């Protein structure tokens, strides 16, 4: 236990945060391992699922030892390595899905926000408590207002408050919400099944566009979308998909 476990089952790669004695808190080597697991994927892998060991936590964020053992000048390296990991997850060439099996805090919450989709059970708690340590919430915490709105996002990052995913204002964070942990796997399997229908090529292109849409205004986004459509439309995989499609 310690370094995240990576397991491939046909087209699905599962990355499991694996430090249950510390609520799956992350060390910097773990962050690097997650980035590696979603980069340069073999062609057979079509979806990546991220989850945590046990039923206590998806992840408690960065392990406190990372901060306690660091010198005053180490902050840039710490946050740069985390930012690179989250960027790798956000821009992975296949869909990424966070299976939230328990508390999801700090850097682990940012990891879940970086994923394309999220599945959770009622009672899972999410939050960005870093401010209580005197550390700002940064990098992919910037995605939070898109899901919960500006008012709640500002409250969460300014107070470090923790919320349940089944609260009305927080619920938009998740794509599937089940009553208890026993329903997580079925909900994940259902989403994975739908993600395996489109071609790998079109999903990679669509993910690139989603990133572009986050960064550009409407005019630039539309222009980029036209170019991407033309490129993907010409691919053999697209022609094959059109031929076999039945409504």
Quick one: 117 and 147 in the same domain?
A: yes
- What pLDDT, in 10s, does the model give residues 139-197? 899 999 999 999 999 999 999 999 999 999 999 999 999 999 999 999 999 999 999 99
Quick one: 20 and 131 in the same domain?
A: yes
| pLDDT score of 217 more than 80 | no
| Percent of the chain residues past pLDDT 70, beyond the cut | 100
Quick one: 142 and 215 in the same domain?
A: no
| pLDDT score of 241 more than 90 | no
Question: Alpha-carbon distance 6 to 16, whole Å?
Answer: 7
Quick one: 191 and 208 in the same domain?
A: no
Q: Grade residue 220 by pLDDT with cuts at 50, 70 and 90.
A: confident
Q: Any catalytic annotation for residue 77?
A: no
Mean pLDDT of the residues in the chain = 93
Q: How would you list the strands of the sheet with 176-178, edge to edge?
A: 2-9, 12-18, 47-52, 96-100, 117-121, 176-178
Quick one: 125 and 218 in the same domain?
A: no
What total of structural domains would you count in the chain? 2
Beta bridge partners of 120: 100, 177
Quick one: 150 and 237 in the same domain?
A: no
CB 61, CB 23: distance < 8 Å: no
Domain of 155 in residue numbering reads as: 2-195
Quick one: 74 and 161 in the same domain?
A: yes
- What pLDDT, in 10s, does the model give residues 18-46? 999 999 999 999 999 999 999 989 999 99
Torsion of CA 161, 156, 33, 77, to 10 degrees: -110
pLDDT value at residue 232: 83
From the list 77, 84, 110, 231, the catalytic residue is 110
Enter the DSSP assignment of 62.
Answer: B
From the list 130, 155, 167, 215, the catalytic residue is 130
Quick one: 93 and 176 in the same domain?
A: yes
Quick one: 42 and 136 in the same domain?
A: yes
Classify the C-alpha dihedral 200-171-188-98 as positive or negative: positive
Quick one: 191 and 228 in the same domain?
A: no
Quick one: 100 and 177 in the same domain?
A: yes
Quick one: 67 and 181 in the same domain?
A: yes
Q: What average pLDDT does this structure show over 226-247? A: 84
pLDDT value at residue 204: 95
Q: Sort residue 106 into left (φ over 0), alpha (ψ -120 to 50) or beta.
A: left
- What are the two backbone dihedrals, phi and then psi, of residue 157, each rounded to the nearest 5 degrees? -80, -25
Q: Any catalytic annotation for residue 179?
A: no
Find the CATH number of the domain harbouring 88: 3.90.226.10
């Amino acid at each position: 236990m310690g370094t995240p476990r990576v397991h491939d089952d046909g087209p699905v790669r599962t990355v499991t945060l694996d430090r249950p004695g510390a609520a799956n808190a992350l060390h910097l080597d773990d962050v690097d391992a997650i980035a590696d697991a979603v980069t340069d994927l073999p062609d057979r892998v079509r979806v990546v699922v991220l989850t945590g060991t046990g039923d206590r936590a998806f992840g408690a964020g960065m392990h406190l030892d990372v901060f306690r053992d660091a010198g005053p000048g180490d902050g840039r390296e710490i946050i740069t390595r985390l930012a690179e990991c989250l960027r790798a997850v956000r821009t992975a060439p296949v869909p990424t899905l966070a299976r939230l099996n328990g508390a999801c805090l700090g850097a682990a919450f940012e990891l879940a926000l970086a994923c394309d989709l999220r599945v959770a059970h009622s009672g899972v708690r999410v939050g960005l408590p870093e401010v209580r340590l005197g550390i700002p919430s940064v990098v992919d915490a910037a995605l939070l207002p898109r899901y919960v709105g500006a008012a709640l996002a500002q409250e969460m990052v300014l107070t470090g408050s923790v919320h349940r995913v089944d609260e009305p204002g927080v619920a938009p964070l998740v794509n599937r919400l089940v009553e208890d942990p026993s329903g997580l796997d079925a909900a994940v399997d259902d989403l994975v099944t739908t993600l395996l229908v489109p071609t790998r090529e079109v999903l990679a292109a669509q993910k690139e566009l989603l990133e572009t849409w986050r960064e550009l205004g409407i005019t630039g986004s539309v222009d980029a979308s036209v170019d991407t459509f033309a490129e993907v439309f010409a691919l053999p995989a697209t022609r094959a998909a059109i031929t076999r499609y039945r409504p």
